Amino acid sequence: MTPRGILARQAPAKVNLALAVGPPESPGGMHPIASWMAPIGWCDTLTMQRLDDGESNRIEVICAPDAPRPIEIDWPIYDDLAVRAVRAMEEAAGRRLPIALRIEKRIPAGAGLGGGSSDAAQALLMLRELYELDINDKRLAAIAQTLGSDVPFFLGSGPALVTGLGDRIERTPPISGGARLVVFAPDFGCATGAVYRAFDATGGAGWFEQERVASMARSGVIDDSALFNDLAGPAESVAPSLAETRARIEAAASVRTHVTGSGSAFFVVCPDAAEAGRVQESARRFAGPIAGVVVGWAQ
């Protein structure tokens, strides 16, 4: 790799096809999870260029021109998770790693789609490659875990059973069949912390169904009627508009919808691209301004 090397990578979103949440490990602590997670073909784009030693980092985060809906970049740039990943790698390397980084956002924030986590994971991988850093996969995963519970998942490819605090990743079979998703991302987000507090208030962690999730994930077969998310109800209590929006979509398209992560995005599983198109069109025509994005699986 030349000193002025440039890399461009896609950072995919994810959906939680199934998500079970356990009680916090200590008062005020993190919740263990068991989730069947799959990357999807809705991606941000990262472009990273290695700069000469002594140069300052140049960071740009923008809404991609082809984003399905406008994304307001309303957070301080140095609070962006990918930028924090750069700082974490510099700390691990014990030196500065000057780069120019451009992030073109298509995945909305606060939607449970993991866009920020995916960007951070790609930033870690790209920095390691550009600078030929002596950081093995295990150490890279440990760095990723310090950034957020979803980040380690995005260091690899394909679906996975994700357990613990997001640190245990078991890659699972590809999703069987030709299923497509229609993913709906409302123009409001759900604050993850508030959703978990609402979950705790329900006492829901008394039924931590880890084995149910593991069985589904290891099969690679989607049974739409069996998918579940322990955070769906709490997310709707935090953002009542989520329940209203899902109800409109379900009535318009005669389908089941499933919340991903802590919301606010939700998805419909379709057996093929034709059905996905029908669902998208029905939602567009009869359920108001929110339109779904048809995606397949990112491998």
Active-site positions read 14, 150
Name the percent of the chain in helix, strand, coil, to the closest 5. 35, 25, 40
Instruction: Tell me how far apart the alpha carbons of residues 167 and 224 are, in angstroms, rounded to a whole number.
Output: 27
Evaluated on CA atoms 272, 159, 152, 167, the torsion sign reads positive
Helix (H), strand (E) at residue 129? helix 115-131
- The alpha-carbon radius of gyration of the chain (Å, integer) is 19
3-state secondary structure of 185: coil
**DSSP secondary structure string for all residues of 195-228:** HHHHHHHHTGGG---HHHHHHHHHHT---GGG--
Going by their DSSP bridges, the two strands 168-171 and 99-105 should be labelled as: unpaired
